[in-house]
Amino acid sequence: MMTPEHDAASTTVQAFERVDAQTVAVARLLPTATLHEAGGKIGVLPPAIKPVAPAFRLCGPALTVHSPGGDNLWLHRAIALAQPGDVLVVHVSGVHDHGYWGEIMTTAAKAKGLGGLVIDGCVRDGVLLEEIGFPVFARGLCIRGTGKDYGAIGWLNAPVLMDDVRVAAGDLVVGDADGVVVVPRERARDVVTRAQDREATEAAILKRVAAGESTMRIYGFH
């Protein structure tokens, strides 16, 4: 007996408010660790999610995807729905070891001007992804193929949970060599401002350390 086809529109949110472009532009220049600390130690996605190539960096509003395990049809739908600059944040229902994303999808996402991919699962075509230059952050590489089940239920732009971090559509997502941090949209402007201040403070501290001053004295440790 065939599974009835799921109406994708019924679990897709087409429009949502995104973090503003100016905040994204400033956040693009800031380290993930600084944003995490400036926000009160928030938003760290699982450390197993790493850039496929060391130089990859991404920054933009989240477009969230809750995909059935072992299936990448909802990722194709997400590419079609996304706007330039959006970062796809994909939850794969705990089924990590499939190649959910590869050369063709990367090329399609780059052609649309998307901001990147963060996936709590694996991808494939790692060498080609680096050559294309579209930033992909994943748990690793896996050649195991995926299906496309039109009866399987997924969600676009519903909140997803990665470890203890809730990611909502429109939140600020930043990734670099150290990892990925998510800042809630409503807090993004304030956190980015605080992160800028933190960077300035740390630059001054580094000068003191380089001049030979003790960190114990600088921070008042005992």
At residue 205, φ and ψ (nearest 5 deg) are -65, -40
Q: What is the pLDDT of residues 65-120, one digit of tens each?
A: 999 999 999 999 999 999 999 999 999 999 999 999 999 999 999 999 999 999 99
Q: What is the pLDDT of residues 180-216, one digit of tens each?
A: 999 999 999 999 999 999 999 999 999 999 999 999 9
Residue 217 located in a structural domain:
no
Is 105 annotated to bind ligand?
Answer: yes
Paired strand residues for 174: 59, 181
Is 131 annotated to bind ligand?
Answer: no
Is 153 annotated to bind ligand?
Answer: no
Residue 218 located in a structural domain:
no
pLDDT recorded at residue 2: 60
Residue 221 located in a structural domain:
no
Mean pLDDT of 126-143: 97
The residues near 53 (Cβ < 8 Å, ≥ 6 apart) are: 126, 129, 130
Neighbours of 30 (CB within 10 A): 20
Residue 222 located in a structural domain:
no
| Domain, as residue range, for 30 | 8-211
pLDDT recorded at residue 188: 98
Reduce the DSSP state of residue 133 to 3 states and report it. Answer: coil
- CA 146 vs. chain centroid, Å, equals 21
User: For residue 222, is pLDDT > 70?
Assistant: yes
Rounded Cα distance between 57 and 55, Å, is 6
Is 102 annotated to bind ligand?
Answer: yes
Rounded Cα distance between 182 and 44, Å, is 7
pLDDT recorded at residue 166: 98
Structure tokens, 187: 């807090």
Rounded Cα distance between 18 and 2, Å, is 38
Q: What is the pLDDT of residues 145-160, one digit of tens each?
A: 999 999 999 999 999 9
Is 7 annotated to bind ligand?
Answer: no
Residue 76 located in a structural domain:
yes
pLDDT recorded at residue 182: 98
Tell me what the pLDDT averaged over the chain comes to: 96
The residues near 143 (Cβ < 8 Å, ≥ 6 apart) are: 99, 124
Contact 51, 175 (CB under 8 A): yes
Residue 216 located in a structural domain:
no
Mean pLDDT of 28-49: 97
Is 103 annotated to bind ligand?
Answer: yes
CATH number at residue 110: 3.50.30.40
User: For residue 3, is pLDDT > 90?
Assistant: no
Task: Give the pTM.
Answer: 0.95
User: For residue 174, is pLDDT > 70?
Assistant: yes
Structure tokens, 102: 């590869």
- CA 209 vs. chain centroid, Å, equals 34
What is the total count of domains within the chain? 1
pLDDT confidence band for 140 (50 / 70 / 90): very high
Residue 220 located in a structural domain:
no
Contact 82, 88 (CB under 8 A): yes
